[in-house]
Amino acid sequence: MVESALKLERARYERSALVEWLTTVDHKKIGILYFWTSLAFLLIGGLLALLIRTQLIVPDNTFLGPQAYNEVFTMHGTIMIFLVVMPLNAAFFNFFVPLMIGARDVAFPRLNAFSYWAFLFGSLLLLSSFLFGAAPDGGWFGYANLTSSRLYSPGLNIDFWVMGLQVLGVATLASALNFFVTIVNMRAPGMSLMRMPVFVWMTLVTAVLILLAFPSLTVGLVMIMFDRYFGTNFFNPAAGGDPVIWQHLFWIFGHPEVYILILPPMGMISEILPTFSRKPLFGYTFVVFAGIVIAFLSFGVWAHHMFAVGLGPVPNAVFATTTMLIAIPTGVKIFNWLGTLWGGAIEMKTALLFAASFIAMFTIGGISGVMHASVPIDYWQTDSYFVVAHFHYVLFGGSLLAIFAAIYYWFPKMFGRMLDERLGKLHFWLTLIGFNLTFFPMHFLGVDGMPRRIYMYSAGMGWDLWNLVASIGAYLLGASTLLLFVNMLKTLRKPADAPADPWDGRTLEWSIPSPPPAHNFDVVPVVRGRDAFWIEKYGAEEVIGPAPERHGAEAGHNPQNPHNPGPGEGAGHDQAASHGAEHHGDSRIHLPPPSWFPLTTGAGLTLMGIGMVMHASDTLGSLGFPVVGLGIAMVVVSLLGWTFEPIHEEGHA
C-alpha cells in the first residue's frame, strides 16, 4: 500500500513534530506555514491600523506623537503588502498550484522551503525594529533622499526597512522562480496551458511579474544602502544625484507590485464564482488574456504615481493614457465574473458572498483609479485621503476580500474541516459594513483636502465627522476579523471530517481526500479538458445543472459521480475509489526527504541583514561586518550541504 511504503521510506526521517515542520519540503506543509505566519502578521498590521484610526478619531488628538505615527503608518503599509497579502497569496500558491495541475510537489521543494524561511526571518528582522524603538518611518515607498541620507534619517529605522525588504525580496524571487518552473514544467498529462485553472494562470503571470519587477526594487534598495553605508551619491543632490531616480525605480517595481497583489486574488475568485454558480467561468480565454495584458501594461504606467513630481506634460500625458488603457482589461474581467454569476444556480455560501463582494468593491476602487489617471484630477487628489480610499478599495476590498473567500473555500481541503457557515456569514456582513464605513468616507475627506500621512488635524476643517465614522468602521472591521480567527480556531478543534469534494468543485484538488495525503495523487491524473474534475464527474457536455443531492441515492449507481458524503462519512475514500486507485500501491512514489539546509540558508541570509543593521548602530557597530561575514559563511556552507545532500534513494544527485 502506498501509505505503508511511504512510511517505510520516510521512517528514517521521522522525528519530532517540530523537527518535521522545521525541515519539511512538502508544498502543503509549507503552504500551511505561510498561511498561519501571514495571518499572524495580519493581526499585527491590523492592530497598527487601529492605532492610526485611534489617533485620527478626533481632531487635535495626542494619542500618538508624530514620530510614532510615522512608524505606525509605515509599518502598517509595509506589513500589509509584504507580510500579509503577498505571503497569503503564496500560501495558496504553495498548497494549491501543485494540486490543481496534478503534480506531486513543486519543481524545487527545498528552494520552496528556503523561500518560506527567508520570508519568516526577513519579516522578523523587519518587525524586531519595534523592540529597538526604531521602526521604519519613511513610508512604504521610502522616498529618497529622506531615506538615503543619514542626515535626514539618522536612526536605525530605515536600515531595518532596507535590510528586511532585501531579505524578503530574495525570498519572493526564489518563490517566483519555483512556481514559474512548476507551472510550465509539471503539469499532468493533458493539462495544456489553456486548460489550466485561472488561479494557476494568475500565479504564472504573477511569477513573471515578480521576476521582472522585483529587481528594480532590489537595485533601488541597494542604492539606498550604499548611500547610507558607503557614502555614495546616488540620491545626493549636493553631488548631482537625483532623488527622483528612486521614485522611478520604486514605482517601476511598485505598480507591477499592485498587480502582484491583485492578480492571484482575481484567480481565486475565478475559481470560486464558477463553483458556486455551477457554471464554467464565463469567457475563460478573455479572463486569461486580460490578466496577461494587465501584467504587460503594468510595466508602462508607473509614472502615474509621479504626476505631481513635475516630469512635464508629455510624460504625464503618455502615462495618463497607458493608465487609462489598463482599465480596459480590468473591465473585461469584471464583466466576465458578472457573466459567470448571471443565470447560475447560485449557492449563497460564505465563500461566494466574499467573492461577489470582491467584484463590487474592486470596481469602486477601479473607478477611483481611473479618476486619478487623469492628470489634472490627480493634481487635486494626489497625496490626499482620496488615494487612501482608492488603494484600500483595491487592496482590502479587492485582494483581502478575495483571500477571505479563498479561506472559506479551501480551508476544508487544507485542514479537513469545514468552517462554520453561520459565523462565516456574520464575519462577511460585519466586514462588508465595517470596510465601507471605514473607507468610503475617505473619498469625502480626500476631496475636502485632507492630506494623507498627517498625524493630526485641527478642528474646524470640516473633517471631524468622516474621520469619526472611519474610525468607528475600523473598530468594527477589527472585531469582524477576529471572528474569522474564532471561526478557524473553533473549527480546528472539531474532528477532521470534511468530504473530499464539499462544494462539488471543478478542479483537481477536489479529486483527492481532504486533507490530501503526502504524495497528493495516488495516480497522476489525466486531464481531459478545462474544469478537469468536473468533466470526470459529469462528462464534458453537462456543464450546468441543479446541485446533485448531497446525500443522494443515485450516488451509488454511477461510479463517476462522487456522492459528496456529509461530515462523518469517511471522507476521501470514495474519491480514491472513483479513480479505482485506492490500493494502487505505486511503491515507486518517492518524496523528497526533509532538509535543514533551506532553514539555515534563510537564517544565514538574514544574519547578513542583521549584521548590516548592527553596523549602523552606535553600540554594536564594530560587530556588524563580522556578523555579515558569519552570515555569508552560513549561506555558503548551507548551499554546499544543499548541493551534496542526497535527495534521491537511487543517488541521482
Partner 1 sequence: MSDSTAVGHVPEAHHTTTGISHNKMLMWAFLASDCMFFGSLIWVYMVYRGRSLEGPYTQEILNIPYTSVSAAVLLLSSLAMVLALHGIQHGDMRRFRVWLGATAALGALFLGGQYFEFTEFYHHGLTLEQNLFGTTFFVLTGFHGTHVGIGIIWLVTLILMSLFGRLTPANAERVEVAGLYWHFVDIVWIVIFTLVYLIPY
Query: Where do contacts with partner 1 occur on this chain (CB under 8 A)?
Result: 103-111, 173, 176-178, 180-181, 184-187, 191, 211-216, 218-220, 222-223, 226, 230-234, 239-242, 245, 249, 252, 588-592, 639-640, 642-644, 647-650, 652-653
Binding partner at 623 among Cu ion, partner 1, ligand HEM, none, C-beta below 5 to 8 Å by kind: none
Please choose, out of 345-353, 365-373, 569-577, 580-588, the segment that lies near ligand HEM by the rule CB under 6 A.
365-373
> Residues 70 to 129: which contact ligand HEM by CB under 6 A?
none
172 in contact with ligand HEM (CB under 6 A): no
248 in contact with Cu ion (CB under 5 A): no
3 state SS of 384: strand
Backbone φ and ψ for 451, nearest 5 degrees, come out as -75, 155
Q: Which residue is closest to Cu ion by CB? A: 255
395 in contact with ligand HEM (CB under 6 A): yes
Residue 175 region, left (φ>0) first, then alpha (ψ -120 to 50), else beta? alpha
Backbone φ and ψ for 621, nearest 5 degrees, come out as -45, -45
Residue 87 or 416: the one with the smaller Cβ distance to ligand HEM is 87
Count of residues binding ligand HEM (CB under 6 A)? 25
* Nine-digit cell string for 270: 475565478
User: 120 to each of 37, 333, 444, 452, 606, how far by Cα in Å?
Assistant: 8, 34, 38, 30, 10
Residue 241 or 291: the one with the smaller Cβ distance to partner 1 is 241
DSSP label at 82? I
Binding partner at 398 among ligand HEM, Cu ion, partner 1, none, C-beta below 5 to 8 Å by kind: ligand HEM
266 in contact with ligand HEM (CB under 6 A): no
User: 492 to each of 137, 313, 498, 597, how far by Cα in Å?
Assistant: 38, 57, 11, 31
332 in contact with ligand HEM (CB under 6 A): no
Q: Locate cell 484630477: which residue?
A: 377
Residue 49 or 99: the one with the smaller Cβ distance to partner 1 is 99
Please choose, out of 90-98, 195-203, 370-378, 509-517, the segment that lies near ligand HEM by the rule CB under 6 A.
370-378
Residue 338 or 632: the one with the smaller Cβ distance to partner 1 is 632
213 in contact with ligand HEM (CB under 6 A): no
Q: DSSP letters along 180-227, please?
A: HHHHHH-PPTT--GGGS-HHHHHHHHHHHHHHHHHHHHHHHHHHHHHH
Work out how close the CB of 290 gets to Cu ion at its nearest, in angstroms, rounded to a whole number.
Answer: 17
Binding partner at 261 among ligand HEM, partner 1, Cu ion, none, C-beta below 5 to 8 Å by kind: ligand HEM
Instruction: Pick one of 76, 255, 413, 443: the residue that binds Cu ion (CB under 5 A).
Output: 255
Work out how close the CB of 372 gets to ligand HEM at its nearest, in angstroms, rounded to a whole number.
Answer: 4
Binding partner at 141 among ligand HEM, partner 1, Cu ion, none, C-beta below 5 to 8 Å by kind: ligand HEM
Single out the residue of 350, 357, 362 nearest to residue 411, CA to CA.
350
Binding partner at 373 among ligand HEM, Cu ion, partner 1, none, C-beta below 5 to 8 Å by kind: ligand HEM
**Distance spanning both ends of the chain, measured CA to CA:** 27
> Which amino acid, one-letter code, is at 591?
L
- Burial of residue 102 (number of CB atoms within 10 Å: 0-12, 13-18, 19+): buried
- Burial of residue 292 (number of CB atoms within 10 Å: 0-12, 13-18, 19+): middle
* Nine-digit cell string for 576: 480514491
Residue 31 or 45: the one with the smaller Cβ distance to partner 1 is 31
Contact 19, 85 (CB under 8 A): no
Single out the residue of 545, 544, 500 nearest to residue 521, CA to CA.
500
Q: How far apart are CA 27 and CA 83, in angstroms?
A: 19
Alpha helices in 493-586 (DSSP H): 532-538, 573-578
635 in contact with ligand HEM (CB under 6 A): no
- Burial of residue 371 (number of CB atoms within 10 Å: 0-12, 13-18, 19+): middle
Q: How far apart are CA 260 and CA 90, in angstroms?
A: 11
3 state SS of 543: coil
Please choose, out of 101-109, 115-123, 250-258, 397-405, the segment that lies near Cu ion by the rule CB under 5 A.
250-258
Binding partner at 166 among Cu ion, partner 1, ligand HEM, none, C-beta below 5 to 8 Å by kind: none
> Residues 140 to 169: which contact ligand HEM by CB under 6 A?
141
Work out how close the CB of 371 gets to ligand HEM at its nearest, in angstroms, rounded to a whole number.
Answer: 8
Give contact residues for ligand HEM (rule: CB under 6 A): 141, 258, 261-262, 304-305, 323, 326-327, 330, 366, 369-370, 372-373, 378, 381-382, 387, 390-391, 394-395, 398-399
